[in-house]
């Protein structure tokens, strides 16, 4: 009987891990520059910070064809830590999102659940939301202007897009 229970638990654990892998999107970003390298030693380095997207450039240097200043609330991402639970959340154009992050060994990993876009005001906003969530899940490198108390964070996406964030009001620790 104990062997049967152990086998069932093992099968259930494998199934749960497999299903979790199907329902998330994860990106791994390498730290670029001294500020990011200093911060990339622990997830606590970004904890309780909040960032708003101020510029989005395509690989050719042109700005993303959406007026970021006209989106309210602005596209954003916040990093929160409680004990060893590292969470991200923010606003993606139409909806709020949440997921997890890990900052370890010089790499930032953001994992977001598969998105389900709710009703969006315009098709353009819906497309911007999908593109933003995809970019967050596919960052290849990141940089900070300072490791101690950064004010600017830049994500470079695998497709070559560059997202520039400015630090907002920090998130109070709970």
Nearest by Cα to 39 from 159, 143, 113? 143
> What does the pLDDT read at residue 159?
96
pLDDT at 72: 82
**Pair 122, 64: CB distance under 8 Å:** no
Q: Please indicate whether residue 21 or residue 124 has the higher confidence score (pLDDT).
A: 124
Instruction: Tell me the per-residue pLDDT of 1-14, one tens digit each, with 9 for 90 and over.
Output: 444 443 333 333 33
Distances (CA, A) of 19 to 23, 26, 40, 101, 113: 7, 14, 29, 19, 12
Asked if 19 contacts 11 with a C-beta cutoff of 8 angstroms, the reply is no
Residue 51: closest CA among 144, 129, 137: 144
Alpha helices in the chain (DSSP H): 2-22, 33-39, 123-137
CATH of 24-167, one of 3.30.1340.10, 3.40.50.300, 2.40.128.270, 3.30.450.20: 2.40.128.270
pTM: 0.74
pLDDT value, residue 32: 56
Residues paired with residue 101 on neighbouring β-strands, in sequence order:
110
pLDDT digits (tens, 9 = 90+) for 52-104: 999 999 999 999 877 777 788 899 999 999 888 999 999 999 999 999 999 88
Cα(135)–Cα(139) distance, rounded to whole angstroms?
Answer: 6
For 33, list phi and psi in degrees, rounded to 5. 90, 160
Instruction: Specify the range with the lowest mean pLDDT, choosing from 78-82, 110-114, 115-119, 170-174.
Output: 115-119
pLDDT at 5: 40
pLDDT at 156 over 80: yes
């Amino acid at each position: 009987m104990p062997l049967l229970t152990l086998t069932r638990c093992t099968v259930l654990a494998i199934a749960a891990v497999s299903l979790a892998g199907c329902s998330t999107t994860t990106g791994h970003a390498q730290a670029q520059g001294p500020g990011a390298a200093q911060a990339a030693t622990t997830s606590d380095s970004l904890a309780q910070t909040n960032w708003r997207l101020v510029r989005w450039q395509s690989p050719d240097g042109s700005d993303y064809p959406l007026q970021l200043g006209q989106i309210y609330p602005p596209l954003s991402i916040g990093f929160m830590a409680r004990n060893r639970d590292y969470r991200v959340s923010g606003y993606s154009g139409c909806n709020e999102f949440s997921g997890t992050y890990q900052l370890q060994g010089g790499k930032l990993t953001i994992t977001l659940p598969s998105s389900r876009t709710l009703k969006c005001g315009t098709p353009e906003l819906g497309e911007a939301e999908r593109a933003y969530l995809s970019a967050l899940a596919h960052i290849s490198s990141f940089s900070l202007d300072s490791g101690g108390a950064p004010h600017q964070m830049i994500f470079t996406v695998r497709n070559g897009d560059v997202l520039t964030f400015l630090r907002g009001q920090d998130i109070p620790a709970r």
